[in-house]
């Protein structure tokens, strides 16, 4: 604005000065006219007056002839009648003009006055160079510009000083905001001064503190939720109403065979739920059923999952998602099947001897019973069947006692050779057609076991070996340390025979209850099909292992490994371990 004002001021001042000067010059012209003579001596007076006044003085006649001109002889001067100021003065009494003088070569201000004496008329003109005015104006403009420059410099310096402070504070705010956005809430921020920016600093600092507090709160509750979901046995899946996964815990990913690290969020549920029943559940929920439960079959292992589903609703009752809880019930279902099979098997096993006994008893009650020989034969059959029933019930009770833990293990160091001798004694009467040997490696340590149960194991194994080995065969009972004490000593007891052997595909099933390779043969030999199941149970209770190898026609080897009794046990013979 000031810069724009400069030419305006210059022009105005110039005009004003010229105006004032013009007035003064006119007054001077009048005064000059009064003192200048009309006839002789005019030129001299002119020159003197001009010198005295410091002006240029000219007198022009009515016809334009120059009568005198200060500083120059009039002879040869051109007619001045056409000069604007002269013409104007002749016409109106006074005249003024500014122009570059042809004679002097500078810009001059002319003022002319028409003077009359009687009939005589002349024009007295004074002039002065306008260089002074120009200088004045130029000086003024220079002063203004200089002032302006100083003002601008001062203003800039002041602005710089102020803005430097502001800029630093703003940069501090920016850095703070950036740190906050980057998750760093530890940078402090307080008002530096009590101005507007200070209020902003205060507010931003306060905001950051509350953001930090909220973030911490959220993180804590999120971590708590994650920990709960992680440690759940159940799989949990949360989806939105369109069936897109919002959340899936680790267990659910396992159950649904989702590869680890797979991004599940936002994916449609149907991608994971390969059982169409899940789709039905989702639809039913979306249609308004609040709670649903269904069994799903999933995956290559045909796992059975129980799916419980509910709708998620906000405080105002609006439904915004679905929650699915998955429970792996494969094992439960498997056990149910086993129990059903077991009950069916037991019933069947019990019915056979019972039916036979009832049949023979009825026959005996008839006329056939009168014949003594027949009666004895039939009674023998009944006796055999009742014996079998007894064995069956005996084995079943033994098994159920083992399973229910009703017979506490009385663990103590048991010398193997003694136990083997006892067992072989029991079978001595059946060995007539077999070669039976016991080979206990020297230095075989005692095992930590329940003596009665270890004998039961040996009885069942030797019984099998004897039963399934034809006459002329061989049965060997061997024992040797199989793992040194420093690696947790074990003793391996093996019962080997050269009998009929077992087909490879049946070996894994031998320890199932009632499993028999050849049912009729086993039954004929008085087997219940529970012997190896009992063996397996006892061995497991002792913390041992059972291995069966066999080749059809060549023979069978059953190996039982049991833990060695620790030295402390050996030193106190008969001390009882506390294993239930």
Ligand X SMILES: Nc1ncnc2c1ncn2[C@@H]1O[C@H](COP(=O)(O)OP(=O)(O)O)[C@@H](O)[C@H]1O
Q: How far is the CB of 464 from ligand X (least distance, A)?
A: 3
Binding residue for ligand X (CB under 6 A) from 243, 473, 531, 544?
Answer: 531
User: Maximum distance among all alpha carbons in the chain?
Assistant: 209
User: Would you say the C-alpha torsion 405, 410, 416, 420 has a positive or negative sign?
Assistant: negative
CB 513 within 8 Å of CB 345: yes
From residue 213 to residue 252, the character string flagging contacts with Mg ion as x (rule: CB under 5 A) and all else as - is ----------------------------------------
Candidate ranges 95-103, 143-151, 207-215, 526-534; the one touching ligand X (CB under 6 A): 526-534
Q: How far is the CB of 500 from ligand X (least distance, A)?
A: 5
Binding residue for ligand X (CB under 6 A) from 330, 492, 556, 561?
Answer: 556
For 18: left if phi > 0, alpha if psi spans -120 to 50, otherwise beta; the answer is alpha
- Which residue, 353 or 527, has its beta carbon nearer to Mg ion? 527
- Which residue, 413 or 531, has its beta carbon nearer to Mg ion? 531
Candidate ranges 226-234, 313-321, 441-449, 524-532; the one touching ligand X (CB under 6 A): 524-532
Q: Which of residues 326-365 bind Mg ion (CB under 5 A)?
A: none
Q: What whole-number distance in Å separates Cα of residue 283 and Cα of residue 277?
A: 10
Q: Tokens 């440690």 belong to which residue?
A: 231
CB 502 within 8 Å of CB 522: no
Tokens standing for 528? Answer: 């219940």
Binding residue for ligand X (CB under 6 A) from 436, 468, 542, 546?
Answer: 468
Q: How far is the CB of 556 from Mg ion (least distance, A)?
A: 12
Tokens standing for 442? Answer: 């020297």
Counting residues that bind ligand X (by CB under 6 A) gives: 23
Binding residue for ligand X (CB under 6 A) from 464, 492, 498, 561?
Answer: 464
- Which residue, 414 or 462, has its beta carbon nearer to ligand X? 462
Q: Considering the rule CB under 5 A, would residue 464 count as an interface residue with Mg ion?
A: yes
- Which positions ≥6 away from 549 have C-beta within 8 Å? 507, 556, 557, 559
Using the CB atoms, write b or e for 49-70: b if 16+ within 10 Å: bbeebebbbbbbeeebebbbbb
Binding residue for ligand X (CB under 6 A) from 243, 413, 527, 544?
Answer: 527
CB 500 within 8 Å of CB 511: no
Q: Regarding beta strands 555-563 and 56-61, do their DSSP bridges make them parallel or antiparallel, or are they unpaired?
A: unpaired
Fill in the DSSP letter of residue 212.
H
- Which residue, 50 or 535, has its beta carbon nearer to ligand X? 535
Q: How far is the CB of 450 from ligand X (least distance, A)?
A: 20
Per partner kind, with CB cut-offs from 5 to 8 A, the member of Mg ion, ligand X, none near residue 45 is none
Binding residue for ligand X (CB under 6 A) from 528, 539, 541, 546?
Answer: 528
Candidate ranges 215-223, 337-345, 456-464, 498-506; the one touching Mg ion (CB under 5 A): 456-464
- Which positions ≥6 away from 2 have C-beta within 8 Å? 144, 148, 151
Binding residue for ligand X (CB under 6 A) from 130, 510, 539, 564?
Answer: 510
Q: How far is the CB of 557 from Mg ion (least distance, A)?
A: 15
Q: Considering the rule CB under 6 A, would residue 516 count as an interface residue with ligand X?
A: yes
List of E strands, 130-273: 235-239, 245-248
Per partner kind, with CB cut-offs from 5 to 8 A, the member of Mg ion, ligand X, none near residue 444 is none
Angle CA(142)–CA(144)–CA(146) in degrees, nearest 5?
Answer: 65
User: Alpha carbon 253 to chain centroid distance?
Assistant: 17
Binding residue for ligand X (CB under 6 A) from 109, 126, 454, 465?
Answer: 465
Q: What is the layout of strands, in order, in the sheet containing 120-129?
A: 66-69, 56-61, 120-129, 107-117, 94-100
Q: Considering the rule CB under 6 A, would residue 492 count as an interface residue with ligand X?
A: no
Of 147, 29, 12, 176, nearest to 97 (Cα)?
29
- Which residue, 455 or 569, has its beta carbon nearer to Mg ion? 455
Q: Which of residues 83-142 bind ligand X (CB under 6 A)?
A: none
Give the three-state DSSP class for 538: helix
Q: Considering the rule CB under 5 A, would residue 550 count as an interface residue with Mg ion?
A: no
Q: Compute CA distances 36 → 29, 32, 44, 124, whole Å.
A: 10, 6, 10, 9
Q: Considering the rule CB under 5 A, would residue 556 count as an interface residue with Mg ion?
A: no
Q: What whole-number distance in Å separates Cα of residue 497 and Cα of residue 434?
A: 10
Q: Considering the rule CB under 6 A, would residue 502 count as an interface residue with ligand X?
A: yes
Q: Considering the rule CB under 6 A, would residue 298 count as an interface residue with ligand X?
A: no
- Which residue, 278 or 468, has its beta carbon nearer to ligand X? 468
- Which positions ≥6 away from 401 have C-beta within 8 Å? 407
Binding residue for ligand X (CB under 6 A) from 413, 473, 529, 544?
Answer: 529
Q: How far is the CB of 517 from ligand X (least distance, A)?
A: 3
- Quick one: angle between helices 372-404 and 531-541, nearest 10? 30
Q: Tokens 């136990």 belong to which residue?
A: 419
Binding residue for ligand X (CB under 6 A) from 522, 544, 561, 565?
Answer: 522
Q: Considering the rule CB under 5 A, would residue 531 count as an interface residue with Mg ion?
A: yes
Q: Considering the rule CB under 6 A, would residue 498 count as an interface residue with ligand X?
A: no
- Which residue, 172 or 384, has its beta carbon nearer to ligand X? 384
Per partner kind, with CB cut-offs from 5 to 8 A, the member of ligand X, Mg ion, none near residue 49 is none
Partners of 497 in beta bridges: 475
Angle CA(500)–CA(504)–CA(510) in degrees, nearest 5?
Answer: 80
Candidate ranges 173-181, 332-340, 461-469, 565-573; the one touching ligand X (CB under 6 A): 461-469
C-alpha count within 13 angstroms, C-beta hemisphere, residue 173: 18
CB 26 within 8 Å of CB 94: yes
Q: What whole-number distance in Å separates Cα of residue 292 and Cα of residue 325?
A: 10
Q: How far is the CB of 518 from ligand X (least distance, A)?
A: 6
Q: How far is the CB of 387 from Mg ion (least distance, A)?
A: 15
Q: Which residues bind ligand X (CB under 6 A)?
A: 460, 464-465, 468, 497, 499-502, 510, 515-518, 522, 527-533, 556
Q: Which residues bind Mg ion (CB under 5 A)?
A: 464, 527, 531
């Amino acid at each position: 604005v000031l810069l724009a004002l400069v030419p305006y001021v210059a022009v105005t001042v110039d005009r004003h000065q010229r105006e004032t000067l013009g007035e003064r010059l006119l007054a001077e012209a009048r005064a000059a006219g009064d003192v200048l003579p009309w006839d002789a001596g005019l030129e001299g007076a002119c020159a003197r007056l001009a010198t005295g006044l410091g002006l240029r003085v000219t007198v022009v006649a009515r016809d334009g002839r120059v009568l005198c001109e200060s500083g120059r002889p009039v002879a040869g001067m051109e007619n001045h009648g056409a000069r604007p100021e002269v013409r104007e003065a002749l016409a109106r009494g006074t005249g003024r003009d500014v122009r570059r003088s042809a004679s002097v070569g500078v810009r001059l201000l002319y003022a002319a006055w028409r003077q009359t004496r009687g009939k005589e008329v002349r024009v007295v003109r004074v002039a002065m160079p306008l260089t002074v005015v120009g200088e004045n104006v130029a000086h003024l403009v220079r002063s203004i510009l200089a002032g302006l420059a100083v003002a601008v410099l001062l203003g800039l310096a002041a602005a710089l000083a102020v803005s430097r402070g502001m800029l630093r504070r703003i940069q501090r705010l920016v850095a703070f905001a950036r740190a906050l956005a980057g998750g760093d809430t530890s940078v402090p921020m307080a008002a530096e001064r009590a101005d507007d920016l200070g209020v902003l600093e205060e507010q931003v600092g306060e905001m950051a503190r509350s953001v930090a507090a909220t973030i911490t709160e959220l993180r804590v509750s999120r971590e708590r939720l994650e920990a709960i979901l992680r440690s759940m046995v159940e799989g949990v899946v949360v989806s939105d109403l369109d069936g897109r996964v919002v959340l899936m815990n680790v267990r659910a990913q396992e159950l649904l065979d989702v590869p680890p690290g797979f991004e599940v969020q936002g994916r449609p549920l149907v991608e994971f739920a390969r059982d169409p029943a899940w789709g039905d559940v989702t639809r039913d929920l979306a249609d308004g059923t609040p709670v649903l439960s269904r069994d799903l079959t999933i995956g290559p292992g045909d796992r059975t999952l129980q799916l419980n589903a509910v709708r998620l609703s906000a405080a105002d009752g609006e439904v915004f998602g679905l929650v699915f809880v998955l429970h792996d019930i494969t094992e439960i279902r498997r056990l149910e099947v086993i129990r059903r099979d077991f009950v069916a098997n037991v019933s069947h096993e019990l019915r056979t001897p019972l039916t036979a006994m009832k049949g023979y008893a009825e026959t005996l009650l008839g006329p056939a019973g009168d014949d003594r020989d027949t009666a004895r034969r039939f009674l023998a059959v009944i006796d055999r069947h009742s014996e079998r029933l007894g064995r069956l019930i005996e084995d079943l009770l033994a098994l159920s006692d083992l399973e229910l833990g009703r017979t506490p293990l009385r663990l103590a160091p048991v010398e193997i050779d003694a136990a083997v001798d006892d067992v072989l004694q029991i079978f001595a009467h059946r060995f007539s057609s077999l070669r039976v040997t016991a080979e206990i490696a020297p230095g075989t340590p005692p095992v930590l076991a329940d003596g009665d149960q270890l004998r039961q194991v040996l009885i069942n194994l030797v019984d099998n070996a004897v039963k399934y080995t034809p006459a002329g065969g061989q049965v060997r009972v061997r024992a040797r340390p199989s793992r040194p004490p420093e690696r947790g000593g074990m003793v391996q007891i093996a019962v080997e025979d050269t009998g009929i052997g077992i087909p490879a595909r049946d070996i894994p099933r031998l320890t199932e209850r009632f499993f028999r390779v050849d049912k009729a043969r086993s039954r004929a030999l008085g087997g219940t099909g529970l012997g190896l199941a009992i063996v397996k149970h006892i061995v497991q209770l002792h913390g041992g292992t059972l291995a069966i190898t066999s080749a059809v026609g060549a023979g069978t080897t059953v190996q039982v490994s049991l833990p060695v009794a620790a030295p402390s046990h050996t030193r106190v013979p008969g001390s009882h371990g506390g294993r239930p």
